[in-house]
Amino acid sequence: MTYTAEPTAESTTAPTSGHTPGREELDDGSRSADLTLRIVQRTIMRADQELDIRPLYISGVSSFSAGESTSRQSGAEDAADATDVSSSTPGAETNDPAEAMGGFGSITGNTGATVKSERRLTFGTYFNAFPASYWRRWTTAESVRLVMRVSGQGTIIVYRSTAKGHVQRADSAVVNSSGLSTIEFELSLKPFIDGGWYWFDIEAGDEAMTLQDAVWAVETDKTTSGTLSIGITTVNRQQFCVDQLLKLAEQPAVLAIIDQILVVDQGTQKVTDHELYPQAAASLGAKLRVIEQGNLGGSGGFSRSMDEVTAKGDADYVLLLDDDVVCEPEGILRAVAFADLAKRPTLVGGQMFSLYDRSVLHAFGETVAKYRWFWGAAPHTVHGHNFARHSLRSTHWLHRRIDVDYNGWWMCLIPTQVVRELGLSVPMFIKWDDAEFGLRAAEAGYPTVTLPGVAVWHVPWHEKDDTIDWQAYFHRRNRIIAALLHSPYERGGRLIRESFETQVKHLLSMQYGPAEMGLMAIEDILEGPQRMHRDVLKRLPELRELRKRYDDSTSETDLDKFPKARRRKPPRKGKEPTAPRGRLGRAKTMAVGAARQVLPVRELAKRNPEASVAHVDLKWWLLSQFDSALVSSADGTAASWYKRHPEQFRDLLRRSIAIHTRLAKEWPELAEQYKAALPELAAPKTWHQTFEESMKKDASPSEEYTPSGAAAPGGDPTTSEGAVAGKESVTSS
């Protein structure tokens, strides 16, 4: 790389210690001849940026505060720190999106920011701060160089933070230049072993100051970027998918390192039929390839991408992207640079913002709680952090390096070397496929890093409840299979117990459909791993048929189609049920709810629901009080009439006890079976047969699920979910 300083005769710079002006000094011979600076992160400044996401990039500073004192005793723990990891110290940033730049400066074109006189802008933001601790831990870099081109009058201040969230001034430089000057800061990565960031502020003097551009670079002999292919799995989301392709087509720097973009279309509403697809195809040219296959879920779609990329052999990485995301393009370049310079082959994941509330970070990092064997937010992180309210600088927990077990496949960069060694996804259809692959990679010595500053905006999952629709089967089955493959605990720790508790809660909630699917999931597991590829092809339509038998799976969008909610008696003393407290309280409430199952259903409850329950109040202990209830859906579009069926309850409970007892007894043998079958389950050769089978128009009929000894369920047919594609086509553009 070559940079040229362009100061005029009148320009001056007055750096403090550790600061070197002038880009020409990059080639002064002071470092090894075989090392060259490589840009790993560019500062993002866009004139057309919308107000709600501006706090993620740049912010005005209305007053100066260095945050909490750095003199706090090491190892001492504040009471707030001990109880609430979301605690934050009020920072200097103006966090109101509408005020983030107003009165402080402006963005000039696509590559510049001007600070008004006697004002300050900070780049200590999610996308523009440098995640030093991640580079310190996972890459070969020992220092980072901040290189800036500026003009005008003012001061550049570089800050660093510690893992505790303490802020320290690292360096500064005074600028007085009527033309462009290049300013450099050499910054050590040594003190970032547990956490911390670098960032800079710009404070204008008597005159305005302009930042033309700024980059973070490291010395390396790996100066050529690795190449990647992008794999997008889609089912009936034409608009999302085409928008993503059009955005990629506008990014020449990203396109320069892309070998191909694979769209695996598994739906009935084809991406190629969208009115804007020809425009996307023309812009991307030969890099775009659309593959149509049957609906094999995320595991089948992403396995197809991984297989195609490794078979072609021209890309170093495959980047998996969901179809319903909006990607920050600079994040792709950052992920590849990080993976290129990692100490060992590493999966690099993106974090997830809400597509609906775009300054809210939903997933900072994901881990699996090994004893419970349940996925979730990594320890010391907060779900749903809003950067418009609490800045990076003022939020302590954001400064600690967070290590993860896996990254969601909404955005995950995987080295093709890892795919060749480990194989493709396990045929799970959806749920736990990304977690299982990350755990499998870690066991083979390949870590996953969820890298701050690399992110997508994704449809948030809190607007749906996929634990009670057809996906309940995959939640239960795949969680147990992943534990059979990777749990370090005998019989999966608490997993079997929690699975049984989930069954009981479904039954007390009159959710007989999800309870039946939970039993189906365990029955399939007990049958053995050999049926997994069969089920990735056929279980979805079978689940849709099964759900048609149950009242709780029948929904209406018009509430007036249901009878009005009525009770025979009002609540005693006007008190509604409250949540049980503690284990004893929960056990008592469960026992009372179970005892009610010997009582006949009240006649009025057969004609009218006894209550209307909003989805936010959908709790087992509440529903267990009723003989029937009208329950709204998570997305607010429909409602279902739950009805208590004592015979179904007793039948499902009896079978649940029996099958969980059997699962516990056979766990060791099952674990051996699934571990032995894993290489074949994930093998490209096995997947090739499944890909071909999914394309057959006259595939063998699905089996009907008729559990032995089950009580006949009631309910009206419900609308089906999902889609299964039925024609074979490979389109290259």
Instruction: State the pTM of this model.
Output: 0.86
Statement: residue 376 has pLDDT above 80: yes
Statement: residue 35 has pLDDT above 80: no
**Confidence at residue 68, expressed as pLDDT on a 0 to 100 scale:** 42
SS3 344: coil
Mode of pairing for the β-strands spanning 347-354 and 448-458: parallel
Q: Give residue 1's pLDDT band: very low, low, confident or very high (50, 70, 90).
A: very low
Give per-residue pLDDT as tens, 50-85. 888 999 999 888 765 444 434 333 333 333 333 333
Distance between CA atoms of 78 and 675, rounded to whole angstroms? 45
**Confidence at residue 726, expressed as pLDDT on a 0 to 100 scale:** 31
- For 355, phi then psi, to 5°, come to -70, -20
User: Tokens for 488?
Assistant: 């370090």
Statement: residue 198 has pLDDT above 50: yes
**Confidence at residue 111, expressed as pLDDT on a 0 to 100 scale:** 58
Q: What percent of the chain has pLDDT over 90?
A: 65
- Within 8 A by CB and 6+ apart from 220, the residues are 35, 36, 38, 140, 141, 341
Q: Give residue 537's pLDDT band: very low, low, confident or very high (50, 70, 90).
A: very high
* Alpha helix (H) residue ranges in 433-508: 433-443, 471-486, 495-508
Distance of CA 350 to the CA centre of its chain: 7
User: What is the mean predicted confidence (pLDDT) over 203-212?
Assistant: 92
Give the CA distances from residue 354 to residues 41, 570, 650, in Å, rounded to whole numbers and listed in that order: 23, 41, 42
Residue bearing the bigger pLDDT, 427 or 709: 427
Give per-residue pLDDT as tens, 137-191. 999 999 999 999 999 999 999 999 999 999 999 999 999 988 889 999 999 999 9
Q: Among 140-144, 442-446, 549-553, whose mean pLDDT is lowest?
A: 549-553
The structure tokens 């430089």 sit at 173
User: What is the mean predicted confidence (pLDDT) over 442-449?
Assistant: 98
Compute the mean pLDDT over every residue in the chain, rounded to the nearest whole number: 85
User: Tokens for 509?
Assistant: 């909630």
Statement: residue 90 has pLDDT above 50: no
Catalytic residue from among 316, 324, 434, 651: 434
**Confidence at residue 97, expressed as pLDDT on a 0 to 100 scale:** 45
Domains of the chain: 12-67+85-220 (3.90.550.60), 228-365+404-463 (3.90.550.60), 464-559+604-677+695-722 (no CATH)
Statement: residue 637 has pLDDT above 90: no
Give the CA distances from residue 222 to residues 37, 330, 342, 645, in Å, rounded to whole numbers and listed in that order: 9, 19, 11, 66
| 78 assigned to active site | no
Give the CA distances from residue 426 to residues 45, 202, 524, 687, in Å, rounded to whole numbers and listed in that order: 41, 50, 15, 9
Give per-residue pLDDT as tens, 561-602. 888 988 877 777 667 778 888 888 888 888 888 888 888 999
**Confidence at residue 74, expressed as pLDDT on a 0 to 100 scale:** 33
Q: What percent of the chain has pLDDT over 70?
A: 84
Residue bearing the bigger pLDDT, 708 or 636: 636
Q: Helix 684-694 to helix 297-312 angle, to the nearest 10 degrees? A: 120
Distance between CA atoms of 191 and 198, rounded to whole angstroms? 11
